[in-house]
Amino acid sequence: MAIAQQSSESYRLVSLRGGLGAVPGIRCSGIAAGIKKRKSDLAVIDLGADHVCASVITTNDVKAAPLLVSEEHIAKRGNAIRAIVANSGCANACTGQRGLDDARATARDAAQLLGIEASQVLVASTGVIGVPLPMELVGKGLERAVRALADGTEAALSAAEAIMTTDHVPKLEAYAFYDDGSKERRVVGGIAKGSGMIAPNLATMLAFVATDAACSRASLNAALKEAVEDTFNMISVDGDMSTNDCVYALARPGTGEATPGLRAALHAVCRELAIDMAKDGEGASKRLTVHVTGARDRAQARAVARAIVNSSLVKTALYGEDPNWGRIIAAAGSANAGLVEDAWSIALAGQPWVSRGAVEVMSEFEAHSHLEEKSIEIGVDLGVGEAEATAWGCDLSLEYVRINAHYRT
Amino acid sequence: MAIAQQSSESYRLVSLRGGLGAVPGIRCSGIAAGIKKRKSDLAVIDLGADHVCASVITTNDVKAAPLLVSEEHIAKRGNAIRAIVANSGCANACTGQRGLDDARATARDAAQLLGIEASQVLVASTGVIGVPLPMELVGKGLERAVRALADGTEAALSAAEAIMTTDHVPKLEAYAFYDDGSKERRVVGGIAKGSGMIAPNLATMLAFVATDAACSRASLNAALKEAVEDTFNMISVDGDMSTNDCVYALARPGTGEATPGLRAALHAVCRELAIDMAKDGEGASKRLTVHVTGARDRAQARAVARAIVNSSLVKTALYGEDPNWGRIIAAAGSANAGLVEDAWSIALAGQPWVSRGAVEVMSEFEAHSHLEEKSIEIGVDLGVGEAEATAWGCDLSLEYVRINAHYRT
């Protein structure tokens, strides 16, 4: 099942197929409960045992009911989470007291079916805002979803499909890891939904990542926060902005720190899921990777990389295959991260494009031919330090507008 | 020539046609110098006498050469500015030392033709970044532009046309004002270019506003900053982000404060020019006005109003005439301005749409019928205070992407 290998001094990573389905002990399902017309819309993840839980949720002032209820459950039982229920088609956001009641009832129903307590269940929703969950459909759907629980790739794929909204493909990623000197194989796997939009504000991102390795809850939280900063937050200019954004990570309860292998595998799964989202940008026809080097510090590198992948003028130029490097450097400058004149240079597809002092060193013909590729790599060296960061995005296409002008569920 | 009237306790405003051409003593011209193919691209404004100058320029780390040279001239001769030269088709940004030399040479050439000093000339550019100004064309063009200088509406219109890029219409606004108890008629007039984009980052905005009234330079600066905050900055989420953005205001030299009438007329001209830009959004099919009330303070009101007009999901929903108020409140929440749950309400076209506690009080049919209009007014009451703010925007259309994918000059 191994499809790629990476190694370092202190651990070994092996890329796997199957997402959450690659994690021993985890069962998944995804079914069509009728919340959406004719599409699967309800996923259940049964962790099979108590897990410690780490979370990163939206910074939006408006937080959907499922986020609030899940945070309550994590506060109460964050060392003994057992299951996740997630639906698409309805965000259960801006739904007031009824929304909270519905989110709690969903957790209660799932808990009853699984023989656990309601506070051991996390709930998540994505879809239209301001509409209540159709609870009769959710209740009946949960019964079928729990009966359908299974281990392996197929089941994880069903769960990943059931949380899709405007996504074109389900998103599953997994890595096995071996810590230094250890022959013990552990796995981190995850599923996610979301797409790298225009300036990806307000497209809900859900990600559920779990491992059969053990560590303390505090250590898992620290590892997740670090990973999110470099991955999910690098496909969005404003971090987590939708009312429903959440990333939950689950590990077996332990007292020790997350090992280097676990941290690296968690990071790798988050990075692959983030890239999956960037590639699946709504209506996107091209994928963009921006690698910023030579920055004063990580904060500057991140700010510049994100400003470029999120500039609508860079994104439309990319769609038009227009070698307009001025838009790239103007976007970089707009980050107000302290760009120094005559110090920066730009590369395209690994080749020097504009050297220091704004000297164009690549012909327009060659630049255009690189831009005809489906996957575009832009490098920006700020020439002032050693820090770097990578951001992922996509072009802004006619298709994006078509999708979002008439998006309903 | 008066087309509208407004009055208050301490001054009277009269809306005029003609923009800068309505200001006594000012001559304008706009000609085709050949910087662009077959379109006018070079404007000269001759103020006819020394003026005090106030400026608000981009906060982008990358500042175009003409901005830097103009700031030098304002530092040196800010009480005796005599002319402005502005071109479209080339931004003269990221052009290094050569760009600075070219901007200085432009000012020098214009000064020679007008019989003034180079440091009394402001220069401004808009267009493609990273390309040097074609100085031979600029030099020859300046001779023709100076010969073409004239007073009145037609000449101001020519100047406004010569600074257009993706603009569909030239932008000219003017107000006469009479201070309380005074029969003295003074005029504030201006021209501008720019369009209210997606999240209007990086679309250059130029605005030149002048008056035949006198005041101190410090007072003019204070009045301009206040006006820009409520007007030009309310059509853009990140304030001034392009490499070339600038607003210059010019008044007759005086020692006193700007009168209430002058301040109000300056504010009105800036507001009308800003609305002109929002209406002329690239490819826009609808105009959006967002009025936020009941805010804790002005900062909160501004932040929420700007977040809504700049949300690409709100803008695409508007294009699709989709009554999706969830996107509006999610955008409001994304401003992180402290939205309080169950306190907010939304109005559409002046009618209650969603009342406190997220209760939809307007039928979807009625909401949709309001959204079919060309001009959409959304009111958001935050329910926590007395402060308010207005922001202007437009929808995000298929046409926007088409324009920006292949924009060259």
| CB-CB neighbors (< 8 A) of B61 in chain A | 332-339
Mind listing the pLDDT tens digit for each residue in B6-23? Answer: 555 689 999 999 999 999
Instruction: Write down the pLDDT at residue A210.
Output: 98
**Number of structural domains found in chain A:** 2
Question: What is the rounded CA–CA span in Å between residue B200 and residue B321?
Answer: 21
Q: Read off the pLDDT band of B409 (50, 70, 90).
A: very low
* pLDDT reported for residue B405: 63
Do A334 and A252 lie in one domain? The reply is no
Q: For residue B96, what is the nearest residue in chain A, using CA coordinates?
A: A357
Which residues does A240 contact at the CB level (< 8 Å), separation at least 6? A56, A57, A58, A59, A60, A205, A232, A233
Contacts of residue B50, defined as CB under 8 A and 6 or more positions apart, other chains included, come to B79, B80, B81, B82, B120, B253
Which residues of A are less than 8 Å from B319 in CB distance? Answer: 401, 405
User: Which residues in A lie closer than 8 A to residue B312 (C-beta atoms)?
Assistant: 197-199, 201-202, 312, 404
**pLDDT truncated to tens, each residue of chain A (409 aa)?**
344 455 556 899 999 999 999 999 999 999 999 999 889 999 999 999 999 999 999 888 889 999 999 999 999 999 999 999 999 999 999 998 999 999 999 999 999 999 999 999 999 999 988 899 999 999 999 999 999 999 999 999 999 999 998 888 999 999 999 998 888 999 999 999 987 554 444 468 999 999 999 999 999 999 999 999 999 988 854 444 788 999 999 999 999 999 999 999 999 999 999 999 888 876 678 889 999 999 999 999 999 998 898 887 788 788 888 888 988 998 898 887 888 888 999 999 999 999 987 888 999 999 999 998 888 999 999 999 999 999 998 887 777 666 666 554 3
With CA atoms as reference, report the closest residue to A295 among A347, A337, A348: A337
Q: Give the pLDDT of residue A409.
A: 38
Q: Which residues of A touch B102 (CB under 8 A)?
A: none
Residues B313 and B367 both lie in one domain: yes
Coil, helix or strand at residue B4: strand
Contact between chains at B331 and A202 (C-beta distance less than 8 A): yes
Residue in chain B closest to A329 (alpha carbons) equals: B62
d(CA B116, CA B149): 15
Residue of B187, B173, B312 whose CA lies nearest to B250 = B187
CA separation, residue B7 to residues B172, B179, B273 (Å): 22, 10, 20
In terms of domains, do A55 and A122 share one? yes
Tell me, what's the pLDDT at B401? 66
Tokens of B280: 């002329």
Q: How many angstroms separate the CA atoms of A57 and A70, rounded?
A: 10
Smallest CA–CA distance, residue B177 to chain A, in Å, is: 37
Shared-domain flag, residues A129 and A188: yes
Contact B120, B248 (CB under 8 A): no
What is the maximum alpha-carbon separation in chain B?
67
Helix (H, G, I), strand (E, B) or coil at B131: coil
Quote the domain boundaries for residue B215: 2-279
From A51's Cα to the closest Cα of chain B, the distance in A is: 31
- Selected residue of A198, A382, A399 to mutate for chain B interface (largest B Cβ count, 10 A): A198
- A9 and A137 inside one domain: yes
pLDDT value at residue B6: 53
Q: Do residues A275 and A331 share a domain?
A: no
In this structure, the answer to whether residues B270 and B309 fall within a common structural domain is: no
Per-residue tokens: B70:
């103009």
Q: Quick check: helix, strand or coil at residue B189? A: strand
Domain C-terminal end among A279, A297, A325: A279
Is there a contact between B330 and A60 if contact means CB atoms under 8 Å apart? yes
Please state the φ and ψ torsions of residue A201, each to the nearest 5 degrees. Answer: -75, 140
Amino acid at A175: Y
> In degrees rounded to 5, what are phi and psi of residue B317?
-60, -40
Distance CA A304, CA A310 (A): 10
Q: Residue A65 phi/psi, 5° resolution?
A: -55, -45
Residues B168 and B267 in one domain: yes
Strand partners, B14: B5, B176
**Residue B295's CATH number:** 3.10.20.340
Residue type, B82: R
- Pairing assessment for the beta strands B387-394 and B345-348 based on DSSP bridges: unpaired
Alpha carbon of A76: minimum distance to chain B alpha carbons (Å): 24
Same domain, yes or no: A243 and A303: no
Judge contact between B206 and B124, C-beta under 8 A.
yes
User: Band of the pLDDT at B322, cuts 50, 70, 90?
Assistant: confident
Question: Of B95, B153, B166, B204, which is the active-site residue?
Answer: B204
State which of B235, B253, B279 marks the end of a domain. Answer: B279
Residue B327 exposed, middle or buried by CB count within 10 Å (0-12, 13-18, 19+):
buried
**CATH number, residue A142:** 3.60.70.12
Asked whether the predicted pLDDT for residue B269 surpasses 50, the reply is yes
Neighbour tally for A181: CB within 10 Å: 8
Q: Are residues A35 and A141 in the same domain?
A: yes
Q: What is the dihedral of CA A404, A191, A95, B377, to 10 degrees?
A: -20
Name which of B60, B95, B319 is nearest A401 (Cβ-Cβ): B319
DSSP A128-161: ETT----HHHHHHHHHHHHHT-B-SHHHHHHHHH
> How many whole angstroms separate alpha carbon A136 and alpha carbon A33?
10
For residue B200, is pLDDT > 70? Answer: no
Give the three-state DSSP class for B243.
coil
What's residue B353's pLDDT?
A: 96
Q: Is A244 helix (H, G, I), strand (E, B) or coil?
A: coil
Higher-confidence residue: B388 or A358? Answer: B388
Q: How far apart are CA A110 and CA A250, in angstroms?
A: 18
Contact status, residue A74 vs residue A126, Cβ threshold 8 Å: no
Q: Which two tokens stand for residue B249?
A: 């205001």
| Helices B398-405, A312-319: inter-axial angle, 10-degree rounding | 70
- Given A259, A279, A299, the domain boundary residue is A279
Q: Does the ipTM surpass 0.90?
A: no
Does residue B322 sit in the same domain as residue B370?
yes
What is the per-residue burial (b if ≥16 Cβ within 10 Å, else e) of B112-130?
ebbebbbbbbbbbbbbbbb
**What contacts A204, CB < 8 A, 6 or more positions away?**
A91, A126, A127, A165, A193, A194, A242, A243, A244, A245
Q: Are residues A171 and A131 in the same domain?
A: yes
A181: which residues sit within 8 A by CB, 6+ positions away? none
- Beta-strand relationship, A359-360 and B387-394: unpaired
Are A263 and A223 in contact by the 8 Å Cβ rule? The answer is: yes
**Alpha helix segments (H runs only) across B231-292:** 260-279
Q: C-alpha angle B35/B36/B38, rounded to 5°?
A: 120
What's at B199, amino acid-wise?
A
Contact B322 A60 (CB under 8 A): no
What's the N-to-C CA distance of chain A in angstroms?
35
Q: Which of A106, A126, A166, A204 is catalytic?
A: A204
CA B162 – CA A62 distance, rounded (Å): 45
3-state SS class at B405: helix
**pLDDT tens by residue, B215-250:** 999 999 999 999 999 999 888 544 447 889 999 999
> CA geometry: angle at B124 spanning B118 and B126, to 5°?
150
Answer whether A83's CB lies under 8 Å from A121's CB.
Answer: yes
Q: Please name the residues in contact with A186: beta carbons below 8 A apart, sequence gap of 6 or more.
A: A176, A177, A178, A211, A212, A213, A261, A262, A265
Among A95, A334, A407, whose Cβ lies nearest the Cβ of B60?
A334
